[in-house]
């Protein structure tokens, strides 16, 4: 196997993506463990190596005395072609072991448009795509990640799926697998694993042919609903301070430390904001220690403090101030992604930046106060004005703004409101008088996709034609010069929307699209809507049904996957949205009874005075 791989490498672009051997990756001599995991990211190496979730699992499993984990990514098209021509099975980077030889194959579910990559990787590995077709010699294929909470369109490809935080579940699964009473037999193992909190076994549930929109029904012995696993204290779980340092430049070429998990701002369109509740902050001491460890172990020039909204970390000021000083001496910079739209956040970003401040990215999401109240994005016109003023005053001359079109209740004035905000930013730029060069303003617009487990899960998604109409309304309202408008490809948003609120009946379409050549659909240069159209027809998929509005009284295909947030809360939030009433962040005091917390679990904020 080793030499067969060597022979291919001279014929492919960027071969370093397939050789492993990176700093902090495990040594091939180390993998001789009882239980072997392959961890797959179903996209190219440069995307996959930046992913924090898999990096955590890699550390957790490799720290176990009887288990080892290796990595595998989606090969690029040229590599795939070579592998198919030479009948070379997909292998892990560390020991070049074919995926079929592993006990477990873990695949992360990050994004709907990676679904054909999953089929492709299984196919390249010679593992049957359908879980039902796998036998005793095949690995157990596990899914996890944000889309586990609506895994139905790909559920038939997985033997089991982990809902929620994975670092404890994976150890539970390991124990169960090593237990001679359960580990030996696939069926027994799957049955017993459904007793572990957070584990969903798709084969234990069947669709009712009379009512295919309803969630699949449990067979005997499987629970009615599967509850998401939640780690109560972030300080109790390991931090990957020895992350693999990729050779090929990764999309996020920097060290990351997670400062908190979950977010309770309550943006009504946001799935992560609903399915990762409550907020669990890491202690500042721990953050501080981890930053230094990770830099010492990698040599990265930049550290990113990540979370769903890093300026909301209650110890952010003290942590960044303390870090900025020591990092400056080491020629290391700090970044805070996902900034809130207000002056505090922008000032903070300016202060921590050790290198030159050139550009800033803000996401007001909607063009008017009214619509921002509907989506509960707590950004006022004043916040926006203050934020851009602060950025420009600090010398920033590039601004990137993110908006969505097609949000519930959107009217023409909301679209025009986006143009007004752009105009306002330009006026402020002139006023502040940085004025040497003209402001570079990038406006990025996406189509709103109703996501499961959010208050907008019942809402319709815009058709491609309607999206184009609204884009053209916006374009006409924008100044002719000085603004670059870009928008997501509406065809891919449509497909993402179908899967987001999809059910099991979509699985054959994914296999069919893959058969017709679809892969790497998340990359504009590879995405081919024509192939999907054919697959849709071949499988008689009712796309309009998936994209339309859903009946409030009927069950939804993901109702058996319990995020912890109650249906009542989502309905209540939906009603408040339509009434244009905001709901405050529960971290600030009053609980809005979403259903997640219980006496042992709640928001954990390290600095409650902020």
Applying CB under 6 A, does 228 fall inside the site for ligand SF4?
no
Residue closer to ligand SF4 (CB basis): 60 or 565? 565
Piece of 176-184, 219-227, 478-486, 587-595 that binds ligand SF4 (CB under 6 A): 587-595
Q: Residue 454 binds what, of ligand SF4, another protein, none (CB under 5 to 8 Å, by partner type)?
A: none
CB of 565 to ligand SF4, least distance (A): 7
Residue closer to another protein (CB basis): 8 or 509? 8
Q: Tell me how long the chain is.
A: 610
Token code pair at residue 67: 């288990």
Q: Residue 588 binds what, of ligand SF4, another protein, none (CB under 5 to 8 Å, by partner type)?
A: none
Q: Which residue from 270, 346, 507, 586 is in contact with ligand SF4, where contact means CB under 6 A? A: 586
CB of 256 to ligand SF4, least distance (A): 24
Q: Which residue from 60, 341, 596, 606 is in contact with ligand SF4, where contact means CB under 6 A? A: 596
Q: Residue count at the site for ligand SF4 (CB under 6 A)?
A: 13
Q: Residue 1 binds what, of ligand SF4, another protein, none (CB under 5 to 8 Å, by partner type)?
A: none
- What order of strands is seen across the sheet that includes strand 302-306? 255-258, 302-306, 333-335
Give first-to-last CA distance, the chain, whole Å.
57
The kind and range of the H/E element at 186 are: helix 186-193
> Does the bond joining 278 to the residue before it have cis omega, within 30 degrees of 0?
yes
Q: In the beta sheet, which residues pair with residue 319?
A: none
Residue closer to ligand SF4 (CB basis): 561 or 586? 586
Q: Residue 606 binds what, of ligand SF4, another protein, none (CB under 5 to 8 Å, by partner type)?
A: none
Applying CB under 6 A, does 156 fall inside the site for ligand SF4?
no
Q: Which residue from 36, 64, 242, 277 is in contact with ligand SF4, where contact means CB under 6 A? A: 277
- How many other CB atoms sit within 10 Å of the CB of residue 155? 24
CA dihedral 485, 490, 494, 499 (to 10 degrees): -60
Q: Residue 597 binds what, of another protein, ligand SF4, none (CB under 5 to 8 Å, by partner type)?
A: ligand SF4
Q: Whose CA is closest to 59, among 217, 248, 258?
A: 258
Q: Which residue from 219, 355, 544, 593 is in contact with ligand SF4, where contact means CB under 6 A? A: 593
Q: Residue 541 binds what, of another protein, ligand SF4, none (CB under 5 to 8 Å, by partner type)?
A: none
Residue closer to another protein (CB basis): 252 or 453? 252
Residue closer to ligand SF4 (CB basis): 464 or 597? 597
Residue closer to another protein (CB basis): 17 or 470? 17
- How many other CB atoms sit within 10 Å of the CB of residue 123? 18
- Spatial neighbors of 569 by CB under 8 A, at least 6 apart, are 592, 593, 594, 595
Residue closer to another protein (CB basis): 297 or 607? 297
Q: Whose CA is closest to 21, among 62, 71, 89?
A: 71
Q: Tell me the CA distances in angstroms from 445 to 121, 293, 364, 432, 479, one per residue in order.
A: 32, 38, 11, 26, 16
Q: Residue 247 binds what, of ligand SF4, another protein, none (CB under 5 to 8 Å, by partner type)?
A: another protein
Residue ranges in 114-133 that form contacts with ligand SF4 under rule CB under 6 A:
none
Strands 280-281 and 260-261 turn out to be antiparallel
Q: Which residue from 63, 251, 581, 591 is in contact with ligand SF4, where contact means CB under 6 A? A: 591
Residue closer to another protein (CB basis): 192 or 254? 254
Q: Residue 251 binds what, of another protein, ligand SF4, none (CB under 5 to 8 Å, by partner type)?
A: none
Applying CB under 6 A, does 264 fall inside the site for ligand SF4?
yes
CA distance 153 to 506: 5
Say if CB 301 and CB 333 are below 8 A apart: yes
3-class SS letters over 88-106: CCCECCCCCCEHHHCCEEE
Binding interface with another protein (CB under 8 A): 9-10, 14-16, 18-23, 25, 27, 245, 247-249, 295-301, 330-331, 355-356
CA distance 125 to 362: 42
- How many other CB atoms sit within 10 Å of the CB of residue 222? 20
- Spatial neighbors of 157 by CB under 8 A, at least 6 apart, are 118, 119, 122, 129, 130, 131, 141, 143, 507
CA distance 310 to 161: 29
CA dihedral 202, 206, 212, 214 (to 10 degrees): -70
Q: Residue 469 binds what, of ligand SF4, another protein, none (CB under 5 to 8 Å, by partner type)?
A: none
Q: Which residue from 369, 463, 592, 607 is in contact with ligand SF4, where contact means CB under 6 A? A: 592
Q: Residue 578 binds what, of ligand SF4, another protein, none (CB under 5 to 8 Å, by partner type)?
A: none
Q: Residue 326 binds what, of ligand SF4, another protein, none (CB under 5 to 8 Å, by partner type)?
A: none
Q: In the beta sheet, which residues pair with residue 104?
A: 37, 140
Q: Which residue from 75, 278, 367, 502 is in contact with ligand SF4, where contact means CB under 6 A? A: 278
The kind and range of the H/E element at 198 are: none
Piece of 38-46, 191-199, 571-579, 594-602 that binds ligand SF4 (CB under 6 A): 594-602
Residue closer to another protein (CB basis): 26 or 366? 26
Judged by the rule CB under 6 A, the positions of this chain that interact with ligand SF4 are 264, 277-278, 586, 591-597, 602-603
């Amino acid at each position: 196997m080793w030499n067969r791989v060597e022979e291919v490498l001279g014929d492919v672009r960027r071969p370093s993506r397939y050789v492993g051997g990176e700093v902090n990756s495990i040594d091939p001599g180390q993998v001789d463990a009882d239980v072997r995991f392959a961890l797959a990211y179903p996209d190219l190496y440069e995307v996959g190596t930046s992913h924090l979730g898999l990096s955590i699992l890699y550390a957790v499993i490799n720290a176990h005395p009887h288990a080892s984990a290796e990595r595998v990514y989606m090969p690029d098209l040229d590599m795939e072609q070579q592998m198919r021509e030479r009948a070379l099975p997909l292998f892990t980077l560390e020991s070049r072991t074919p995926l079929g030889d592993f006990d477990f194959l873990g695949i992360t579910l990050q994004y709907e448009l990676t679904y054909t990559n999953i089929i492709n990787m299984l196919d390249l590995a010679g593992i049957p795509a359908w879980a039902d077709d796998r036998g005793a010699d095949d690995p157990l294929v596990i899914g996890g990640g944000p889309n586990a909470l609506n895994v139905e369109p790909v559920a038939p490809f997985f033997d089991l799926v982990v809902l929620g935080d994975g670092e404890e579940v994976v150890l539970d699964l390991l124990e169960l697998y090593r237990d001679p009473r359960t580990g030996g037999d696939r069926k027994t193992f799957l049955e017993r694993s459904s007793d572990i909190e957070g584990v969903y076994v798709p084969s234990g549930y069947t669709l009712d042919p009379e009512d295919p929109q309803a969630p699949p029904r449990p067979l005997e012995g499987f629970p009615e609903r599967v509850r998401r696993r939640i780690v109560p204290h972030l300080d109790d779980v390991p931090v990957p301070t020895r992350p693999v340092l990729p050779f090929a430049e990764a999309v996020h070429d920097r060290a990351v430390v997670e400062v908190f998990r979950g977010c309770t701002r309550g943006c009504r369109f946001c799935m992560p904001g609903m399915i990762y509740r409550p907020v669990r902050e890491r202690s500042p001491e721990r953050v501080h220690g981890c930053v230094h460890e990770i830099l010492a172990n990698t040599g990265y020039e930049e550290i990113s403090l990540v979370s769903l909204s890093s300026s909301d970390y209650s110890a952010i000021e003290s942590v960044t101030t303390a870090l900025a000083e020591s990092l400056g001496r080491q020629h290391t910079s700090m970044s805070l992604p996902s900034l809130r739209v207000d002056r505090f956040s922008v000032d903070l970003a300016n202060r921590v930046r050790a290198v030159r401040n050139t550009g800033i990215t803000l996401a007001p999401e909607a063009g008017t106060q009214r619509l921002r109240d509907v989506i509960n994005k707590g950004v006022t016109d004043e916040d926006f004005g203050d934020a851009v003023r602060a950025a420009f005053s600090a010398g920033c001359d590039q601004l990137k703004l993110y908006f969505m079109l097609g949000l519930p209740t959107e009217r023409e004035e909301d679209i025009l409101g986006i143009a007004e905000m752009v105009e306002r930013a330009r006026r402020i730029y002139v006023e502040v008088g940085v004025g040497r060069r003209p402001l570079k303003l990038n406006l990025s617009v996406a189509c709103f996709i109703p996501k499961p487990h959010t208050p907008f899960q019942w809402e319709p998604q815009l058709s491609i034609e309607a999206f184009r109409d609204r884009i053209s309304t916006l374009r006409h309202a924008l100044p002719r010069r000085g603004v670059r408008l870009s928008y997501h490809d509406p065809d891919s948003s449509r497909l993402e929307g179908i899967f987001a609120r999809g059910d099991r009946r979509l699985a054959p379409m994914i296999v069919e699209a893959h058969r017709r050549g679809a892969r790497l659909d998340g990359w504009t240069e590879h995405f081919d809507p024509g192939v999907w159209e054919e697959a849709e027809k071949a499988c008689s998929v009712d796309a309009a049904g998936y994209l339309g509005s859903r009946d409030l009284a009927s069950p939804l295909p993901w109702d058996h996957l319990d995020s912890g947030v109650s249906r009542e809360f989502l309905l209540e939030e939906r009603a408040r949205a339509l009434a244009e009433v905001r709901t405050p962040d529960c971290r600030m005091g009053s609980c809005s009874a979403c259903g997640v917390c219980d006496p042992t679990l709640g928001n954990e904020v390290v600095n409650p005075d902020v």
